[in-house]
Structure 1
Amino acid sequence: MKIRRLEISGFKSFADRVVFSFDEGITGVVGPNGCGKSNVVDAVRWAMGEQSAKHLRGRAMEDVIFSGSESRAATGMAEVSLTFQNDGRLVPPQYAGFGEITVTRRLFRNGDSEYEINKAACRLMDITELFLGTGVGTRAYSIIEQGRIGLIVSAKPEDRRAFIEEAAGVTKYKARRKQAERKLEATDQNLLRLSDVVGEVSKRLQSLERSAKKATRFRELRAELRELELLASCRQYLAFRDTESGQARELSEAGEAENVALAHAARLEAGLSAERLQLLEDEKKVQQLADQSHAIDKQLRLSEQEMEFAKRERETIATRQAQHEEEVSLLGVRLELLGREEEGLRLEEQKLADASAEDETRQKQAEESLQSALKEIHDAQHTVEGERHEAVSVLTRLANHRTNLVNLEKRRTELGGRLQKTSAEKEQLEARAQELARQRDELAQKLAEAQAKRRELHEHKVATEADLAAGRAEQRESETQLIKLREELADRRSRLTSLLELQKNFEGYGRGVKAIMLRAEEERRRDGVYGLVADVLRVERRYERAIEAVLGERLQLVLVESHAAGLKAVDYLRKAAQGRASFVPLTEMEQLPLVPEAAALPAPEDTVRAVDVVACAPEHERVRNYLLADVFLCETLAAALALWARNPGERTFVSTDGEVVDKEGVVSGGALEGVGDGLLHKRREVQELADTVQELEARLQLATERVQQLGARVQATDTQVKRLLHEEREEELSHLRLERDVARLQEDLGRIAQRDQVLRHETEHLESAMGEVAREEQASREAVAAGEGEQSEREARLRALQADLSRARERAESVQAEVTKAKVSNAAIAERREGVGRSLQRLLDSRSEVESRREKLRTEIDQGKERDAALQAKGQVAQEELRRLLAESERLRDELGRARARYEQAQERLRGGDEEVRTAREEARAVGERRGKSELALQGTRLEINHLEQQVRERHLMELTDVAAAKKDAALQLDVTVAEEQMHSLREKIDALGEVSLTAIDEAREVGERFAFLSSQKADLEEAIAKLRSAIARIDRASKERFRETFQLVNDRFQQVFPRLFRGGKAELQLVEDPANPSAEPGVEIVAQPPGKKLASVNLLSGGEKALTAVSLIFAIFLIKPTPFCLLDEVDAPLDEANVGRYNEMVREMSRSSQFIVITHNKRTMEVADSLYGVTMEEPGISKIVSVKLSPQAATAAA
């Protein structure tokens, strides 16, 4: 794992990205003090996972990020990438396939860190484990920074032990031991918590097992009760079925009588149906005749309209015919005129042909004269051209001089323009420099604002994260409360369900009362039964026991509508052998006074009237008053006896504990027993439980909504935290971009300064060139003046020759004019001939159109005559059809009158038949009413059967028909009285069980399974703890063995290296124990004897001897276990020249197996380096590098 490349960006003084490439052998890093050499070592250690800012020479980890300089702003991120060559021997297996391994670490100013291995995100632990056991690490002997040599010497023995452990590879074991100890501690805590949970579950399991046994007994009793109830329902069902059969026969007989009556009515209706059909036929006939008459009338109107239309169309055709004949006559006249015009145009065409022949003869004569004049002009032109050629030569020379003069003037102007442009560019550069400086200042301001915004975003993010943590804590607390509410609601619902089941089955009531109420409830046959006294009374809680005691079995009085309803209920109990019951007739009680005479008795002191603490509905006040009018409540039995003694034979006194002293002085007390005991209490408990369940449901709803709201708020806060983190990263990137922009502006200002220097040199050159142009311009002006004189003479001779040429041209032009005149005359005649031809053609076209129009009109006249004849014939036919239609219309009117008379007679007969049918239907309706009553009776029986079936279906989830089929024989043999007694006994046994949790069986099973699972988990944890302790013991044994072996090897090698570096003497390593802590691992002490001195502790040596002794120890460790690379930061600083030579010899020797990176100021150390990196600070506060590869000879020469 040798270092191949180190990339640094934004780390400490390395503001810009720099790359160090390290080869085999020795690489030196040199430079003046304070240039940032040691930052290279810090960068390597930081990339390898160093977490202590102090060991990186800083106060906080943020100090490693470039903090800015006079010319540079601070960066927002530090990044270091360290690339190793991978030989596959020391790295973890997952990285063995990579040729190189690159470790990257980034730190942002907001405190966020990123770690990567080969550009894949990882944890700091992954980077730490990558280097375990390799001898390479942030605190290993492979990196010796400034001051570390002194620390080795002055360190405590136990601290020196770490160097031997790193060489022995014990650090990997120690890391694993710490990890195992953490796991062991966590497992111990888990086991402790699990043991508590197992204890609690065990206790709950015992309780649930008892409840489960009780629930099992309850199920057995309820199953037996269910079987008896099914047999009783089955017997009742079979009885209803017998009744149903008899009622079905009665219904069948009534149905037959109804069918006979309906048949008679049907026969009468059938006769009437024939009459109605005939009436419909007559009505249809009348309608058909009316439709035919209407159709004939319609045809009459159409025929009259067609005749009128034909008449008007014949009149239109006659008018059009007259117009066409008149137009034909006019077209004949026009054809005659066109013929005369054609003759005139043909005469004019002949005259123009004769004139054209005469003009062509005159044109030919003029052209011959023109050729003679042109020859004269040609000769004169030849003479002029010769003279002109000479003049052109003069002009050419003059033009060259003038052109040169113009070019010189342009050159002067150009140079002046360039000079002006240069001055303008200098001004622009100055303005540009000012603008760039302004932009730089603005960017610096924005950079400061961005830093402030980043701080604000960071503070906001921290606050939002705190809100998120608080919200999550509140959410967890609300969820815990929600779970508790659900559990409490489930318990209350279970209790309420049990009580409602008992109340529904009237458990605790007398046999007769229960039979009456079950019959009223289950069969929905109230028969005037309104409920029980216990149902209508509402008692204050503190007086419940007193009212229950004084009323006793009277709480089970059944409220009925009247004596008749009571007698019916008594009759049912007697016939069904269901016991006895007492009934209160509400109708008859209304004849009694609302307030009985006993209510007039005054209430003794310290008593409360019972009627005052018992509430009820207005319709039940008489019942309450007659039951409790003479009852008074007091605190104790003693008070009751005293009150009775003062008022004997008038009042009944009851203590709040339920002791009763009646009017006769009979005392009742003790524990409440009997069938009526606790009825008021149970009903109040049901009501309170119902209210509690309702309240808990409302609270559960609110808690659920609260949890949902908190969840939404936590999610929103989490989203906000992510958004703030994203914004913070964006601000970080924006900050980096601003820093780059400021650097770019600074570079632009530098380029502007360089350009200004170039412009100054160019200005000097332009001013020199303008002087040379002025001298050349004067010479050209003199040559132009001489050429202009010669040009004047040549121009005078040329003008005389050109005058002769002009006269010849005038003569030629005169002849040319005659030729042109002849051509123009000939062209005019040709144009007139062409115009006459076009007129003649238009005339011919017009005559053709007129003839075509005349033929078309003649055709239309013939067609009009034919159409008129056809219309005349059609009119005659329509006249005949009109006469026929009139006769047919008269016939249909007569036939329609006769048909209507027949229709009215049939209607009269039908009305008489309807009366007979109505009488027959009345008779059938009377028979149907008798059948309906039978049907209603049958439906009542069937409804009872359905009710019984529904009752069995709801209570037992079975079909009564299936039960009757399976249990018919057993049901017929059932003794109803015995069955009722058995069911009563079973219900009492069920009541005796008290509250039963039917879920206890399943809960016991589930808790048992959980107990088994938790016990298994506990055993697994105990086994894991044993394995961890065994692993720690094995690690301790292996660590001690490897340390002992490596210590001996290092000691032997140290004893060899020490005399080599000191040129004599001896030294050794010794294991020493700490007297204050004998159980701790022994430390390592160094004992040295330089040449000429006594054997003593290393602390007694001089500074140079200490340094060389520490180097001896480091080199001894390297010789035992060489690391892939070694960083030495100014280790040679305290050594003298002689010792530096021996030190370099050892480094050169060890560089054959390890890669050395040496930071030094010593020239002799530089000589042994294979390559050098120079670190400089050209710009204050910013480190830059320069690399040089050296051959041995070049290195010596450089020194």
Structure 2
Amino acid sequence: IQQNHNMLIEEKAKKDQLLRSMVGKTILNGRDSVRKVLQLLREKGGRDEAVAKNYYGMLIENFDCGKEFYTAVEMTAGNKLFHHIVENDKVGTRILQEMNRMKLPGEVTFMPINRLFSKEIAYPETQDAIPMISRLTYENKHEIVMRFIFGKTLICRSLEVATSLARTSHLDCITLDGDQVSHKGSLTGGYFDSRRSRLELHKTHSSLMTEISEQKQLLDGHHQKLNEVESQINQIVGEMQRAETKNSKNKDTFDKMKTDIRLLKDELSTIERSRQPKERSSVSHESSLNSMESLEESLRNELQQDLLTHLSVNDQQEVDRLNDEIRQLTTKNKEAFSRRMHLEAQKNKLENLLNNNLCRRKDELEAALQEISVEDRKQKLESERQEMTVIGGRIDDVNEQIKTLDESLESMTKKQRELQIELEKKKSDERDTIERINEDSKDLEKMTSKQSVLSKKTEECMRKIRELGTLPGDAETKYANLGLKQLYKKLQQCNQELQKYSHVNKKALDQYLDFSEKKEKLLQRKADLDAGHRSIVDLMTALEQRKYEAIQVTFRQVSMFFGEVFKRLVPSGRAHLDMKTEDVSHHESQSQNNSGPPTFDNFSGVSIRVSFTGVNAEMKDMQQLSGGQKSLVALAFIFAIQKCDPAPFYLFDEIDQALDPQHRKAVADMIHELCKDAQFITTTFRPELLETADKFYGVKFRNRISHIEVVSKDEAQDFVEDDTQHV
């Protein structure tokens, strides 16, 4: 939906730009300025809002008609299509005041309904013309405006009908093609490109605006639903996190309870072991308790005796004080007893932990300490510490990885949900598209059948027209004012006259004119083709001559540089570069001037002749040279081409392998001379090229792999010398 909305906005911008180029920048700027003013007036409210309600929009926005009438309506209204309709002149004045106050650009023309006037017009009753206003659909409140603009115009079948009706009815007439005839007698017409119709363009622009607003509302609704779904997802994720936290807490509690159960089991076993002594002490305590109960009973009997009557006041006060102290001491005794029991329970736990765990661990450690020495203890302690550090680092890394995996899992889950939602949307869009395709295929079948019927009708009409033959030029004007009966009589007379000439070919004249016209077109086309052929031949000749001259110039330069470079490399030698031709059996020197130069097609190749022993010595071909001499000639040829057409980069692989020291030195000097304008990279096992090199690289073979390293000049020379001695 977002992509469709963006496409609609881009299409609207294109239509707006095209409309702006056709209508004019000032008129559309005025339209935009009026919209801004109306928006401001609606926001203010009150009287200003009433002013905004009395604005009805541009003329082009307040009517509709069939597409076949677009051209006629647009030619009739012209730029009035973009005039603004208002209820009265006060509304237009108020809008103009706000535009001036806000300094908004543009040109605006208002049409106040209270200022317009249109009288009733009696339209002629004919089948060849209809009032333009009858083909427009609009609201009743805009009838005065429509009659003011379109009421005085008739839509006619042809330009002749428009001319006659304009003279008789004193109304402006126009054809469907846009040709206008004024009631004053002026004619206006010409070709009108229907693809650049402002009316159709504005209607398309309005439909795009409506569709964009609908898509925007739909998009806002989807955004709202998306926000609600995201809030629900966040709520669910929060609940999951709380559940995971609660689960981890429950797990910790479970582990703690398992530990407590294990401790309680140990304590229970300790209690079982100490139960028998306790039982024996309990029997003794019961016997002592019985004796104490008997003592208590005797003491109670004594207490029941009324001693207070025999005591003095001071004694009674002393007894009360002692009773209070007894109660306090009893309370303290109970608290001390409960605290003693709690401490004894803790003591039993600690004794159990000490006896079962710590003492056993102590014995194990003492046994382990007796087995290892002090140094071993230190080393083991250090290794344990290192291992503990490494394990701690691993634990931290694992925790970080777990966090990263949790985050990636959440993101992937969210992305999966989004992709699932998008997949469902795409599937629904696919279903809608299939439905639309089916509907379009049905419409296409209907249109195809309709097209076939219309094509048959067209062929039938064309056949009848061909049977009529050629009509005289004045036939339309001669028989235009005759009635239907008179035309039938004329037709019967013509048929009777034609029966006399039934043996004559009726289409001979048409065929003659048609063939004569085709002959003239073919002769003209032949003349054009002959002229084009001659120009192409001339162009090919000129290009061939230029190619020959360019090759000659380039060959002379390469030949000259080849002789110079070879002279540098072999001071006592000489060399020639010759061009071979097919009609000459011997080698012809390029330095000789011929009276007529051969064409490029006659050249069969290039020959090289050199002499290494002297100026007057015998010249040899390439087949007669040794391997080192061939390498030297090839290098001279490459250097000659480099001087003629330099390249930025050269790569030579052991070019001095077959050369003697003197020629290797000459080649090294030549490369050093040419390196100012190009870069040379050479591989060598000889020392001559190292003398003038700028940088050195050594290729070494280690572990069955070649390695390239930067080396110094001395290292390179040592490497070359070692290789030479080894060879």
TM-score, structure 2 as length reference: 0.30
Higher relative contact order (CA closer than 8 Å, sequence separation 6+)? 1
The TM-score with structure 1 as length reference comes to: 0.20
Q: Which has the larger radius of gyration?
A: 1
